[in-house]
Structure 1
């Protein structure tokens, strides 16, 4: 990372990080309100969002009651360079943020991902490791899922030149035109099976992108490491998070290895 070490900042700080595949991503550190450097939560957002979005700011505000927060703009989103690869190379972005959190002096680092970010957090945990806990909210269980109307529309957009242009113009998100190689990158279920840290899978019964079966398969693959919360009346990802769920998520994330 191309940064100069500061004297333990007590206020929010934005930082550009260089990933190990030479992509520059935007990150922001929001210290815990107590000033504690015990735990940092690295938050990976959903597709077409970014760290300055009001939904992410609201969630970060709840998390900061008990932990420091590192928000990142995944590649192709917000202030980050590059193009979104829809879950493939974004693991490098999360690793850069996790490394920065460690460098800032946090003893423990956990990841929290929403939708696209949930898949990225799972893959990061399997491919890089180095985090203490992982929470995946409203994530997919497989690639190229087209079983819902919203996912069919999304595929039509990201797989066409005109669709990608519309996403870039309307949502300021740059999506790659490069197809994935075969065999496809490690999917969320396979990633969950490789984890050796606690995994929390959160999914709503009103999710209109991915059915609850995706969450069940991810949690089942994690075996004894997996915990599943099926939330009645909950929709999809950041937009559906309410204070009660945010508090429960925070309490789960701050638990140490002994469950305290």
Structure 2
């Protein structure tokens, strides 16, 4: 027998084996720490997606020139846009309207103030640039009334802007994530000019409508029921033909109404402005914009779509991403759809809008913009935006305009 086979390992071998075990343990600990960190980040991302949050500042007020009625803002892709916009701030004013760009340099943009700011008034530096423009229905100077629409979560506030002449054509306006029905005020004059009554609605967890049990967004999967309740209200008020117009996440809600509403006999078309057509495309894009590692984004989407993760995502229920995928469900669509989307939206990529138009060219008209950015198409090119909607509605036979030559 070879005694060397049973010889005790020498000191160097023992040291090597010990070092190897230590290295393996350290690698395991480090790997576990990385996995834990990735998971924690993914959960924070997932919660951010579904949790309603106050409007966050996205620019700074550098200076206000009261005599000249101008405001200078930090330069961003939004603040440098041509057109009319709004600015949320604090101080003497909570919201001001902005006009054209007067001058700019590498770091700042000076715009005309369309809301008067007095010499003694102060605006806080932190501000949020907005496409709303109109902040209150009173600013439209047309008749309207406030209503409460009953839904499964409770009464949802709404505004009704009646057409000048009685009509059975209504448009139900659905705002986007993190905003309120005021977002859609820009569209009211367009529809009113065409003889269409406008109904601007709220939905669960938007800060105006009641809170659901979870208090979080379902990204359209449940919010559509509140919009459907609004369609029921419109029917009781005389509507026989209903258009649903959705802005951003409101587009996802509108698509769910199209696919799931029991009021199919009333629906005659959708208008989608900068819409979310497939949430996975949007979340993947936003993850890249935030420079998140792909595994973090994928894990966040997976957690949101899983029942087991709802206690930590606080979503209440799993988000049904397949059901919310408008492109995958394109064959189920039955009504004409007009999509308006900027190819450099900057928040909701137009990829899925193009995909939906390609999947259903018989139903979908896609009008693409450039430069305009997210939900700011009206602000950037009001004439084209208005003309596109007007011509589409006329082709669908949905206008109630006075006949030419009538008094």
Distance 1:209 1:69 in 2: 27
> What is the correspondence of 1:186-205 to structure 2 with a 5 Å cutoff?
186-205=324-343
Q: Is the 8 A contact 1:123 1:191 kept in 2?
A: no
Matched, 1:148 2:279: no
Q: CA deviation at 1:152?
A: 5.0
Change (3 A) 1:222 1:94: farther
Among candidates 162, 165, 170, match of residue 31 of structure 1: 162
Change (3 A) 1:61 1:151: farther
Among candidates 241, 246, 249, match of residue 378 of structure 2: 241
Q: Is the 8 A contact 2:279 2:321 kept in 1?
A: no
- Where 2:327 maps in the other structure, the secondary structure is helix
- Where 2:259 maps in the other structure, the secondary structure is helix
- Where 1:91 maps in the other structure, the secondary structure is helix
> What is the correspondence of 1:48-87 to structure 2 with a 5 Å cutoff?
48-51=178-181, 53=182, 55-66=183-194, 67-82=196-211, 83=215, 84-87=217-220
What residue in structure 1 maps to residue 147 of structure 2?
A: 15
Q: Is the 8 A contact 1:94 1:124 kept in 2?
A: yes
What residue in structure 1 maps to residue 29 of structure 2?
A: none
Q: Is the 8 A contact 2:219 2:252 kept in 1?
A: no
Unaligned 5+ segments in structure 2 are 1-141, 301-312, 401-407
> What is the correspondence of 1:105-254 to structure 2 with a 5 Å cutoff?
105-128=238-261, 129=264, 130-144=266-280, 145-148=283-286, 177-180=315-318, 184-237=322-375, 239-242=376-379, 243-244=382-383, 245-254=385-394
Q: Is the 8 A contact 1:142 1:187 kept in 2?
A: yes
Matched, 1:41 2:171: yes
TM-score, normalised via structure 2 length: 0.50
Deviations 1:30-85 (A, max 9, x none): 112x233131110001111112x3x4222223322221100001211142002432
Change (3 A) 1:259 1:251: same
What residue in structure 2 maps to residue 172 of structure 1?
A: none
Higher relative contact order (CA 8 A, sep 6+): 1
- Where 1:180 maps in the other structure, the secondary structure is coil
Unaligned 5+ segments in structure 1 are 1-9, 160-174
Larger Cα Rg: Structure 1 or Structure 2? 2
Distance 2:394 2:203 in 1: 24
Distance 2:155 2:394 in 1: 29
Change (3 A) 1:181 1:40: closer
Change (3 A) 1:50 1:250: farther
Q: CA deviation at 1:179?
A: 4.1
- Where 1:178 maps in the other structure, the secondary structure is coil
Change (3 A) 1:58 1:142: closer
TM-score, normalised via structure 1 length: 0.76
Q: CA deviation at 1:184?
A: 4.6
Change (3 A) 1:176 1:42: farther
